[in-house]
Amino acid sequence: MKTNQKDQIMEAALRLFAEKGYGNTSIAAIAREAGVAQGLMYNYFDSKEDLLRGLLEKGFQGVQESMSAYNEPHPPQKAIAMHITATFAHVAGNKDFWRLFHAIKLQDQVQAYINTEYAEAKTFILKTLATNFKKLGYKSPNEESKLFFAMIDGLVVNHLMDPKSFSLNSIKKLILKKYHI
Amino acid sequence: MKTNQKDQIMEAALRLFAEKGYGNTSIAAIAREAGVAQGLMYNYFDSKEDLLRGLLEKGFQGVQESMSAYNEPHPPQKAIAMHITATFAHVAGNKDFWRLFHAIKLQDQVQAYINTEYAEAKTFILKTLATNFKKLGYKSPNEESKLFFAMIDGLVVNHLMDPKSFSLNSIKKLILKKYHI
Amino acid sequence: MKTNQKDQIMEAALRLFAEKGYGNTSIAAIAREAGVAQGLMYNYFDSKEDLLRGLLEKGFQGVQESMSAYNEPHPPQKAIAMHITATFAHVAGNKDFWRLFHAIKLQDQVQAYINTEYAEAKTFILKTLATNFKKLGYKSPNEESKLFFAMIDGLVVNHLMDPKSFSLNSIKKLILKKYHI
Amino acid sequence: MKTNQKDQIMEAALRLFAEKGYGNTSIAAIAREAGVAQGLMYNYFDSKEDLLRGLLEKGFQGVQESMSAYNEPHPPQKAIAMHITATFAHVAGNKDFWRLFHAIKLQDQVQAYINTEYAEAKTFILKTLATNFKKLGYKSPNEESKLFFAMIDGLVVNHLMDPKSFSLNSIKKLILKKYHI
DNA sequence: TATGAATGAGCGTTCATTCAT
DNA sequence: AATGAATGAACGCTCATTCAT
């Protein structure tokens, strides 16, 4: 009957952080949105910042899981295609997380978590991409992978800002064609 | 001898907003950094938010000016090259502005200014790019321009996050090659 | 096997109140220290303040008992010696209670309990001392008893603050000599 | 026309801390008592604890000044008499400070300041008393000085708790007689 | 009797903003 | 134009207390 209140708090917090920004969201607002007393959050998280960390961690775990496909070897073209597909699908299904993440990633204070969780994933992705580009005969696979990564990143952010103009799926085809996939 | 105090305030604010974030920067800190009294800011701006708006406006004016080259007709390849060069140069010379902008752009409250100032520039750039891509014979010039725009955007953001790994200039060459320029 | 949980709560509370102060000790901390659930305290006490009252009452009962020796008549010199010995012994065996009591005794809110429990004991002691000093021929037995009482009180407090410098036993001999006992 | 608001805050805080205890006094109550906005305190003190420290420091400065008489050499009997007189006078004129101090001195958290400011004064007083008792031919001047110090201390505390019963001046004469002064 | 999740009032603190000078 | 002391609303957080189990 009673849904998990910790989850309700996290959902409410993620929604509000994404919508209004971390700094503009009060604990009171989260509690109201979650339909819960203000103090309850502190049974599950040490502080507002710890709640943010919890949300980011949970989000990155989802990313990690959606990236598990890379653990098995694939032909490079398929691997790249899968990367795009998986990324776009994860963004589509976790818009609030990605809005929050991209809104926060440039702030020094948060770079700590990001450097742990995100930087690893980023490094892994860049390496995997470089390997695949090398297999495909690209001249500068490292630069190529950075460019590719930045392109996907930029697409995601622009999609989050203005989903109608920047439809991920319509551009996906163009990318595949561009990379002869 | 005495420099314009309004400019000093704006410079201090931009520096601190970029460094610590808008929400984590107090009026007191800005006044301290600018070497003026706390109340002085309110002679020039109605509020802290108005100061932010002022900074964004000024920044976008700079962007507009650096884009004035587009007003004159150029061969499409040169136009695209110029766009990249101008963008990267503006970013290199206005890191604080771009850090602030990208840190803030996803928040609903700020989208108001952005929809006025930035969206216009964005639309203009997208149209110009599309025109040029069309001239160059690309099949889907609109999608192509969005992809290109997102790529540049993503590069800039990744550069701002980690300038050493994402050197703009080393990737610039790759882009030019990619687009046969 | 299972000790009385009420006693465990009271012991934990006394320890923590003495160590960290009443105001700095939370019910949660007491429950943790006592190894019981947070809510259990309210089965035995109406409130945190009532728990404090319970601790003070129990402490004063102990004082009362250790003073029972006075109920039997003694030669005045022996009575005074016994008072010192009993007091110092009780302090040595109940440091936490005395720390708590002396830390709290000056606050108006607590004076209520003190005026009931403690004031009676104090009055009794002062009277007994005065009687004995009178028997010993002192000119102002009332003033003399107050001075004596304050001296013992001051020694105890200074001992609690700094046991090494203010050793009760080494000063006890000096007092006995001073009063020709 | 306008009295110093920092002083008003300190006075209000000292009064309330002495009356209700440090932990039971809110910043809001201090501001109300001082007739001032809540936030103003933080223009003068970093925190509530810093305000407490400020009050204790100011109080100890007063003690130091009232002890300046000891800097000049006096015959031992006069020195002791002066100590009593100065102490009682200072207590009479600074009841709130002494109530606050004695209510707080047993708490570990505050012992830091006390060990700096107060412990020095205490050590100085104990040494001076011991010197004077030695000059007067007492057998154990160190123990004697501790006993004397504790006696005065106890008298002050009992006076603060119950000024009517423990009149300092009526007991002062008894002390002087006791020490043949 | 015992649990501990949930509550919500109240705290210390910050800070955008005002205003007398 | 310029100052900075003063304001007070709002924040993050704590914790005594309650209550369904």
pLDDT in tens, B115-171: 777 888 899 899 999 999 999 999 999 999 999 999 999 999 999 998 998 999 889
Confidence band of C143 (pLDDT split at 50, 70, 90)? very high
Q: How many whole angstroms separate alpha carbon C54 and alpha carbon C36?
A: 18
Chain E nucleotides reached by a protein CB under 7 Å: 1-20
Q: How many whole angstroms separate alpha carbon B117 and alpha carbon D106?
A: 63
B106 touches strand E (CB under 7 A): no
Cα angle C11, C14, C19; round to 5 = 125
Q: How many whole angstroms separate alpha carbon D158 and alpha carbon D164?
A: 10
Residues listed for chain D? 181
DSSP class per residue in chain D: -PPPHHHHHHHHHHHHHHHH-STT--HHHHHHHHTS-GGGHHHH-SSHHHHHHHHHHHHHHHHHHHTGGGGS---HHHHHHHHHHHHHHHHHH-HHHHHHHHHHTT-GGGHHHHHHHHHHHHHHHHHHHHHHHHHTT-S-HHHHHHHHHHHHHHHHHHHHH-TTTS-HHHHHHHHHHHTT-
Mutate which: B99, B145, B158, vs A, most A CBs within 10 A: B158
pLDDT score at A121 = 85
Rounded CA–C1' distance between C12 and F18, in angstroms: 22
pLDDT score at A1 = 36
Any idea which residue has 């808008």 for tokens? B22
D64 touches strand E (CB under 7 A): no
pLDDT score at B2 = 54
CB B159 within 8 A of CB A168: no
Confidence band of D3 (pLDDT split at 50, 70, 90)? low
A167 touches strand F (CB under 7 A): no
pLDDT at C2 over 70: no
Chain A residues with CB under 8 Å of B152 CB are: 154
Question: Which token pair is D55?
Answer: 């009050």
Are D171 and C143 a contacting pair at CB < 8 A? yes
Any idea which residue has 């607590």 for tokens? C110
Exposure string (b/e) for B148-161, b if CB count within 10 Å is 16 or more? bbbbbbbbbbbbbb
A17 touches strand F (CB under 7 A): no
The average pLDDT across D153-166 equals: 94
A interface with B, Cβ–Cβ < 8 A, is: 19-24, 99, 102-103, 105-109, 140, 143-144, 146-147, 149-155, 157-158, 160-161, 165-166, 170-171, 174-175, 178
Interface contacts (C, D; CB < 8 Å)? 108
Q: How many whole angstroms separate alpha carbon C73 and alpha carbon B178?
A: 110
Exposure string (b/e) for C143-178, b if CB count within 10 Å is 16 or more? bbbbbbbbbbbbbbbbbbbeeeebebeebbebbeee
Are D174 and C150 a contacting pair at CB < 8 A? no
Are A109 and B21 a contacting pair at CB < 8 A? yes
Tell me the one-letter amino acid at C10.
M
Cα angle C20, C21, C24; round to 5 = 75
Which chain C residue is nearest to residue D104, measuring alpha carbons? C103
pLDDT score at D1 = 36
Positions of chain A with pLDDT lower than 50, given as ranges:
1
- Nearest to C52, CA basis, from C131, C123, C3, C105: C105
CB C153 within 8 A of CB D154: yes
- Nearest to B57, CA basis, from B110, B127, B129, B1: B110
pLDDT at C72 over 90: no
Neighbors of chain C by Cβ distance (3+ pairs < 8 Å): D
Confidence band of B37 (pLDDT split at 50, 70, 90)? very high
pLDDT at D121 over 50: yes
How many angstroms away from the CA of C151 is the closest CA of chain D?
Answer: 4
pLDDT score at D64 = 86
B53 touches strand E (CB under 7 A): no
Q: How many whole angstroms separate alpha carbon A85 and alpha carbon A70?
A: 12
Question: Which token pair is C23?
Answer: 């105001």
How many angstroms away from the CA of C138 is the closest CA of chain D?
Answer: 11
D39 touches strand F (CB under 7 A): yes
Are B153 and A149 a contacting pair at CB < 8 A? no
CB C170 within 8 A of CB C158: no
- Nearest to B16, CA basis, from B57, B59, B55, B44: B55
Question: Which token pair is A106?
Answer: 């440039």
Neighbors of chain B by Cβ distance (3+ pairs < 8 Å): A
Q: How many whole angstroms separate alpha carbon C142 and alpha carbon C149?
A: 11
- Nearest to C161, CA basis, from D40, A105, D88, D102: D102
How many angstroms away from the CA of A110 is the closest CA of chain B?
Answer: 11
C124 touches strand F (CB under 7 A): no
pLDDT score at B117 = 77
Question: Which token pair is B171?
Answer: 């990737």
pLDDT at D140 over 90: yes
**Which residue is closest, via its CA, to the C1' of F15?**
C26
B interface with A, Cβ–Cβ < 8 A, is: 19-24, 99, 102-109, 111, 140, 143-144, 146-147, 149-155, 157-158, 160-161, 165-166, 170-171, 174-175, 178
Q: Compute how many other C-beta atoms are within 10 angstroms of the C-beta atom of residue A108.
A: 12
pLDDT score at A70 = 67
Rounded CA–C1' distance between B16 and E7, in angstroms: 40
pLDDT at D117 over 80: no
pLDDT score at A98 = 96
Largest CA distance in chain D: 59
pLDDT at B18 over 80: yes
**Which residue is closest, via its CA, to the C1' of E3?**
C37
CB B115 within 8 A of CB B54: no
Residue C139 sits at φ, ψ, to 5 deg, of -70, -45
pLDDT score at C1 = 42
pLDDT at C47 over 90: yes
Chain F nucleotides reached by a protein CB under 7 Å: 1-20
pLDDT score at C69 = 64
C-alpha separations of B163 from B128, B148, B160, C79 in Å: 28, 21, 6, 85
C32 touches strand E (CB under 7 A): no
Question: Which token pair is D92?
Answer: 């009479």
The average pLDDT across D15-28 equals: 94
Rounded CA–C1' distance between C8 and F15, in angstroms: 21
Tell me whether residue D85 is exposed, middle or buried, using C-beta atoms within 10 angstroms of its C-beta: 0 to 12, 13 to 18, 19 or more.
Answer: middle
Q: What is the mean pLDDT of chain B?
A: 91
pLDDT at B1 over 50: no
pLDDT at C70 over 70: no
Q: How many whole angstroms separate alpha carbon A159 and alpha carbon A166?
A: 5
